[in-house]
């Protein structure tokens, strides 16, 4: 059994992409559709900054192909302001804001942690224990929202489906077997992030981040593998070389051969490289998203 490769970008509404990746004159309301036709998934950024509305989630659902997947960034109120402590009601508000309106297009939920947040097993355990792992659990949690969501609808799922989660730590103290074991116990993936050396590049197995071995299915924290590629040599700006994309493609193929799903999101958006790099990686994984358009950067 072969897993599924979901590859795309982190966010899609960037003025710098207009007239470059997006054809000149393309209406802004069609940008998501244009990007989705060339990728297999996109990471929603807006849900990180504020609670969205059911109408927004429904619009994004309807603007994308039937087999498309939208990953969501969990709210920074929980991760950066509350720092994962006392978040039961904010978590209920997040799911009550309309997340379930995505239906079968709901992908993993990314919990990006601040780089100042060190690994505390008690804090992380308490947070992970709150996370719903299917849409029925998510709907029941959403029903506990507070009056901040009084004008919003809790979307009841038509059929119970799995809800996946991934955690992106940015403090080196998470690079331990204990942190991986705790995530594995709750079925939560650990994000492997490439950040030009700014943050640790964690593996999602019990080996250290310096390991060069092939992925080990028995020790992975989840059968979901979540990669965020922020930039290889320059954070958020530089493009990925052919050699680098070949290495990432090889790692993805190893996971796919194990029957695991792989999500890869390019976040090197500042100079517009992200969508082209996403399509170049998709080509290496056996799917063409159309002409990549840009020359590859020099090694």
Q: Does position 96 have pLDDT exceeding 70, yes or no?
A: yes
Q: List, for residues 118-170, the tens digit of each pLDDT value.
A: 999 999 999 999 999 999 999 999 999 998 776 555 566 666 789 999 999 99
For 246, the 3-state DSSP assignment is helix
Q: List, for residues 221-238, the tens digit of each pLDDT value.
A: 568 999 999 998 888 988
How much is the pLDDT for 59?
96
How much is the pLDDT for 209?
44
Distance, in Å, from the CA atom of 236 to the CA atom of 228, rounded to the nearest integer, reads 11
Q: Please give the share of the chain, as a percent, with pLDDT higher than 90.
A: 77
How much is the pLDDT for 78?
98
Q: List, for residues 30-58, the tens digit of each pLDDT value.
A: 999 999 999 999 999 999 999 999 999 99
Nearest to 42 by CA among 82, 72, 18: 72
Element spanning 256, H or E: helix 242-257
Q: Please give the share of the chain, as a percent, with pLDDT higher than 70.
A: 86
Distance, in Å, from the CA atom of 299 to the CA atom of 280, rounded to the nearest integer, reads 16
Q: Does position 295 have pLDDT exceeding 80, yes or no?
A: no
Confidence category of residue 204, pLDDT binned at 50, 70, 90: low
**Could you tell me how many residues make up the chain?**
299
Strand order in the sheet with 5-9: 5-9, 261-266, 224-231, 192-195
Please state the φ and ψ torsions of residue 70, each to the nearest 5 degrees.
Answer: -115, 110
Domains in the chain (CATH in brackets) are 5-284 (3.20.20.410)
Q: How large is the average pLDDT for residues 267-279?
A: 95
How much is the pLDDT for 153?
54
Among 60-64, 154-158, 216-220, 280-284, which is the least confidently predicted range?
A: 216-220
CA angle 184, 189, 195 (to 5 degrees): 135
The DSSP 8-state label assigned to residue 213 in this structure reads S
Cα–chain center distance at 54: 20
pTM equals 0.90
How much is the pLDDT for 112?
98
Task: Give the relative orientation of helices 177-185 and 121-130 as an angle to the nearest 10 degrees.
Answer: 20
């Amino acid at each position: 059994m072969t897993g599924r490769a979901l590859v795309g970008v982190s966010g899609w509404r960037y003025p710098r992409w207009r007239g470059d990746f997006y054809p000149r004159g393309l209406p802004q309301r069609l940008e998501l559709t244009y990007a989705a036709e060339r990728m297999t998934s996109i990471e929603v950024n807006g849900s990180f900054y504020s609670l969205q509305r059911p109408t927004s989630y429904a619009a994004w659902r309807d603007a994308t192909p039937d087999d498309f997947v939208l990953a969501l960034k969990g709210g920074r109120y929980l991760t950066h302001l509350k720092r994962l402590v006392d978040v039961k009601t904010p978590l209920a508000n997040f799911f009550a804001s309309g997340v379930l309106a995505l239906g079968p297009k709901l992908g993993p939920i990314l919990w990006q942690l601040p780089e100042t947040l060190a690994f505390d097993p008690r804090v992380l355990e308490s947070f992970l224990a709150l996370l719903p792992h299917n849409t029925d659990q998510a709907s029941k949690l959403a029903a506990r929202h507070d009056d901040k969501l009084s004008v919003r609808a809790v979307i009841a799922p038509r059929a119970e489906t799995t809800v996946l989660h991934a955690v992106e730590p940015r403090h080196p103290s998470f690079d331990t077997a204990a942190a991986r074991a705790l995530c594995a116990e709750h079925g939560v993936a650990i994000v492997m992030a490439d950040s030009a050396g700014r943050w640790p590049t964690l593996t999602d197995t019990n080996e250290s981040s310096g390991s060069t071995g092939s992925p080990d299915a028995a020790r992975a924290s989840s059968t979901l593998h979540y990669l965020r590629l922020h930039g290889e040599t320059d954070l958020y700006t530089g493009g990925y070389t052919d050699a680098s994309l070949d290495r990432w493609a090889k790692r993805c193929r190893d996971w796919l051969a194990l029957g695991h799903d792989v999500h890869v999101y390019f976040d090197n958006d500042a100079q517009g490289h992200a969508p082209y790099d996403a399509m170049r990686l998709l080509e290496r994984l056996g799917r063409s998203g159309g002409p990549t358009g840009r020359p590859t950067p020099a090694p």
